[in-house]
Chain A
Amino acid sequence: MPPPLVTQIPLSVVYAAGQVIKASELRSSVTDAVGFLTARPVFAGQNTAGTTYGSGADDTMVMNAEIIDNWSGHNTASSTTQYFCQFPGWYLCKSVIAWNYSSATNNLFTSGFQGTTNLSAFGPVRGARQLRVTASGIPTTQCVDLIKQTATVANVGEADYIQPTVYQGTGGNLSLETTATSYPYVTIRWVAYNAQLVSGALSVPVNASWPVPPSYVTSSFVNTNVTDTIAFLFYPPICKAYYTAGTTTLPSNTFPAGAVIDLTTVTVDNFSGFTTGTSALYTAPVAGNYFCYGQFNLVATAAQFNTAAGFRVNGGTTMWGDSMVRTSNGSDGSGAQVQKRLRLNAGDTVQFMGQQSSGSAIEYATAAADQTRMIVVWEGA
């Protein structure tokens, strides 16, 4: 049985020497923090209806079925394309969209997210673009984004929301997949609050055992193992950086050689780990397991070639994710993405790597919707 939802921010008490610890304070700090973090907002929905969409537009995707929606931010009867913010913070959003397409004609498929942040509209911002290759197989696009949500009033028009978007460029109407193992699905989950609950630098909780007499509990012990622990778990390291349209190119390389993806602008980096530029990298501020995601999009080129995306740690061997071919298509660009969970020590560096084998350097896509970006989220010690 899931615990009841905790909808308030936990109490943060910085204790002084000799200060009495009240049971009521622990209920408002520890109990609420454990309750919230155990049942943090998460939504996973599907389209099982094979909804049909027109060509050449980013349409919002109907989510008629739910896998989980523990804070009831979504409704399968109305506004089915939207997940409404139930608690402020940063949400890690992921979509996997499969299309019912069996033609051999080479076309573009992609997916993304749009919505509001603090009631201001954003997007659509897409994932990596995929180009259809052969008549066999299912075009399946992926997108991961880290999106800030602020307004939580539960009335339509007064709360922030997130919507998955889908795009297909076949030139006609096309339906989503209806095979049960290929239903398009979306995950939207809270990963961090909007701000740090206490001032000062935070470290990964050590969760020490409570002192046994003749040792005694000090204010420092309580501040470290209660107050700072809650503060860290509510605001762990997160980062999102992207490429702002310019003239940077991704050089051609023979796999498995690759090049560092140029990331120029930081959206969020709450532990100051990111370094921008042509040698862009994220330096892990604390040890732990990190979810890492990267996607790049290139401008249209007519040639047939391969693309691949990966990560390398401390300049070592690149760990590749997507590695795939795109056929000749002069009107649409393509890309690649990678998502991995990496165990890092504090000070380890992660670089987002890309590869393309066209024989010539290719510029990154410049449209704001076709973003090249990297996301990092600390998940556990």
Chain B
Amino acid sequence: MTVQEPEPPLFPAGYGPLPSDMDSWIQQPFQFLTTKVMFRAELQASQALTANANTLIHFGSTAGDILEDPYGGWSTTATSAQPAWSWLCPAGCTGLYEVTMTAFTANPSGGATAAVIFLDGTEYGYLAYNWGGDGQASGACGGGPFYLTGGIDYIQGYIGTVAAVNTTATAGQYPTLEIAWVST
């Protein structure tokens, strides 16, 4: 069951609450605070990356990519509310979120690898920037804060790379994207 971000409940004195009142005042707020909003995905199939550019990562292109998305925020196709390959912040869940991402590519011979987040279609910031492996696959992972408005703001994960390489299709070396609610 998914619930919206709660308001602190008011408990009127001298009022005989129904069970449904107690669910609204106690069960549902704590349900949100126990589960929070969480999204986790990994890219299992190999995807080509453009040299000296940021490439939008197609999480969800393979069944099993989306590890959990209880609010259904991820869309692999464009809708009236969000573009393809994006996570739309759920309506009623405005707040500060932490986004963590791992960029992973085949050996870039020491070329730079970056995990980059786009907010509402615009490059917002680097979560990680490394000089990639030289002779082995390259990874760069990090996290950062994003204040998102429910039903409006959307997040997309990009990998920036100097070399024209593919993402790795090996378990343990998948690019990943995680989004977690932190606070109002």
Contacts and interface: CB of A to CB of B under 8 A. Distances in A.
Interface size class of A (residues with CB under 8 A): 35 or more
Nearest to B67: A343
Nearest to B31: A207
Interface residues of B, number: 74
Contacts of A326: 131
A202 to B, nearest CB: 12
A320 B183 contact: no
Contact of B133 (A31, A204, A306): A306
Contact of B142 (A39, A96, A306): A96
Contact of B40 (A210, A229, A341): A341
A273 to B, nearest CB: 19
A209 B5 contact: no
Interface of A: 2-3, 6, 23-24, 26-27, 30-32, 34-35, 37-42, 44, 67-68, 70, 94, 96, 98, 130, 133-134, 136-140, 142, 181-183, 185, 187, 189, 204-205, 207-212, 225-226, 229-230, 233, 254-256, 289, 291, 304, 306, 308, 310, 317-326, 337-341, 343, 357, 379-381
B182 interface: yes
Contacts of A308: 133, 136, 139
A207 B132 contact: no
Nearest to A38: B184
A209 B26 CA distance: 9
Majority secondary structure of chain A interface residues (helix, strand, loop or mixed): mixed
Interface in B82-112: 96, 98, 100, 102, 104, 110, 112
Interface string B26-60: 11011101111010100000000000000000000
A372 B13 CA distance: 54
Contacts of A44: 96, 145
Given A256-B173, A380-B38, A291 B125 contact: no
Contacts of B116: 181
Nearest to B68: A343
A133 B110 contact: yes
Given A306-B136, A308-B139, A319-B172, A136 B104 contact: no
Top 9 nearest A-B pairs by Cβ distance? A323-B139, A321-B141, A133-B131, A35-B8, A140-B129, A255-B136, A210-B22, A325-B134, A44-B145
Contact of A341 (B8, B38, B123, B140): B38
Contact of B135 (A204, A233, A306): A306
A338 B141 contact: yes
Given A189-B183, A212-B19, A322-B141, A137 B9 contact: no
A137 B112 contact: yes
Contacts of B98: 187
Contacts of A343: 40, 67-68
B143 interface: yes
Given A3-B7, A31-B9, A225-B26, A357 B136 contact: yes
Nearest to B100: A339
Contact of B29 (A34, A320, A322, A379): A34
A311 to B, nearest CB: 10
B140 A30 contact: no
Given A70-B184, A134-B110, A379-B38, A38 B133 contact: no
A181 B129 CA distance: 12
A318 B126 CA distance: 24
Given A70-B184, A207-B30, 13 more contacts: A23-B15, A24-B11, A34-B29, A38-B8, A134-B131, A136-B162, A137-B129, A255-B136, A317-B172, A339-B143, A341-B180, A343-B68, A380-B34
Contact of A323 (B12, B136, B145): B136
